[in-house]
Amino acid sequence: MLAIQVDQPGGPEVLKVADLPVPVCGPGQLIVELAFSGVNFIDIYQRQGIYPMPSPYVPGLEGSGVVTEVGSAVQGFSVGDKVAWPSSLGSYSQIHAVNAASVVKVPEGVSLDVACAAMLQGMTAHYLIASLYEIKPGDTALVHAAAGGVGQLLCQMISNRGATVIGTASTAEKAEIARTAGASQVIRYDIEDVAAKAKELTNGIGVDVVYDGVGQATFEGSLASLKRRGMMALFGGASGMVPAFDLQALSRMGSLFVTRPTLADYIAGPGEMQWRADEIFAEHLAGKLNFAIGNTYALQDAKDAHTDLAARKTTGKLLLVP
């Protein structure tokens, strides 16, 4: 089978096509023929060595496909089931052995490209608005990179819950995408001061919560956009990791809260991953949640997908087609 393999940390050029043996199904595993593999910033961090990885390894955490073999100890799955998963290393491949406990079933009516897009980004958006800071009617949230994959989902989920979204974007085109997704206002961070504009749009009060997946470039502005006792969720670092920070500043800025969450801790409980998936799929089937598929790439072109994502040239979800 074909897969992408990384032999050493580096740039996109280290993503090499390899012909590897078809995996053997373990007792607690499923063998899945992939339809789509998701491309995410964490894949880039792992490839660069920011998150140390064993070498060689097959990258990719997210995928969707059809079950072709069921492990002897697995219950509740059958050959032919449509499944998806948010976090199983080795997903940049044509065939993948995935632990059954890491998989969710995809219901009828949900396509496999949408199912893949709903995994890491969809579940990230869900835990951010449903668990980390539970969005309530009347809240105002600032969403950075509102035209991106997670950004568009956050805009939809927040507005669906009766709250107001202020998005940020770097171009007029991306600003319009954010508005279509549910942002009431969009701040052009390339030409406007985000914190000053956020305060202006909230009559000087500030926002209840900031969802920031950009990181270093937006961190200080995010804090300055918050109201007293506001919450900042720093869930990614697309522009680079935030440097060391003096926690005493949070007191001076209004007793602010900052958290650096990861999806793994919000799908760790029994049934938690399937619960999030069920809510996301139900919202999609009801016509209230759309997944924007940005670009699709052949598996062999994974390096191009990484280059485009890192350059922030894209909107919506990027998928590889094995």
Q: Give the pLDDT of residue 218.
A: 87
Topology given in CATH for the domain delimited by 137-260: Rossmann fold (3.40.50)
Average pLDDT rounded to a whole number, residues 242-256: 92
Query: What is the residue type of 56?
Result: P
pLDDT at 294 over 90: no
pLDDT at 244 over 90: no
- Chain mean pLDDT for the chain: 95
Average pLDDT rounded to a whole number, residues 286-301: 94
**pLDDT of 142-198, one tens digit each?**
999 999 889 999 999 999 999 999 999 999 999 999 999 999 999 999 999 999 999
Integer-rounded Cα Rg, in Å, for the chain is: 20
Q: Give the pLDDT of residue 225.
A: 98
Give me 185's structure tokens. Answer: 């206002």
| Residue spans per domain, the chain | 2-119+281-321, 137-260
Burial of 40-78, coded b for 16+ CB within 10 Å and e otherwise, reads bbbbbbbbbeeeebeeebbbbbbbbbbbebbbeebeeee
Closest CA to 222 of 145, 163, 150, 128: 145
Instruction: Give the SS3 label for residue 203.
Output: coil
Average pLDDT rounded to a whole number, residues 16-25: 97
Average pLDDT rounded to a whole number, residues 281-299: 94
Average pLDDT rounded to a whole number, residues 295-322: 91
Element (H, E) at 180: helix 172-181
Rounded-to-integer distance, Cα 322 and Cα 113, Å: 12
Shared fold status for 2-119+281-321 and 137-260: no
Query: Structure pTM?
Result: 0.88
Q: What angle do CA 2, 37, 263 make, to 5 degrees?
A: 135
pLDDT band at 317 (very low <50, low <70, confident <90, very high): confident
Cβ–Cβ < 8 Å for 37, 62:
yes
Average pLDDT rounded to a whole number, residues 263-289: 94
pLDDT band at 203 (very low <50, low <70, confident <90, very high): very high
Closest CA to 207 of 140, 254, 145: 140
Average pLDDT rounded to a whole number, residues 267-287: 94
Q: Give the pLDDT of residue 312.
A: 73
202 vs 292, more confident: 202
% the chain with pLDDT above 70: 100
Q: Where are any strands of DSSP class E within 126-267? A: 140-143, 164-169, 185-188, 207-212, 226-234, 257-259
**pLDDT of 121-150, one tens digit each?**
899 999 999 999 999 999 999 999 999 889
**pLDDT of 215-239, one tens digit each?**
788 899 999 999 999 999 999 877 7
What homologous superfamily is domain 2-119+281-321 in, according to CATH? Medium-chain alcohol dehydrogenases, catalytic domain (3.90.180.10)
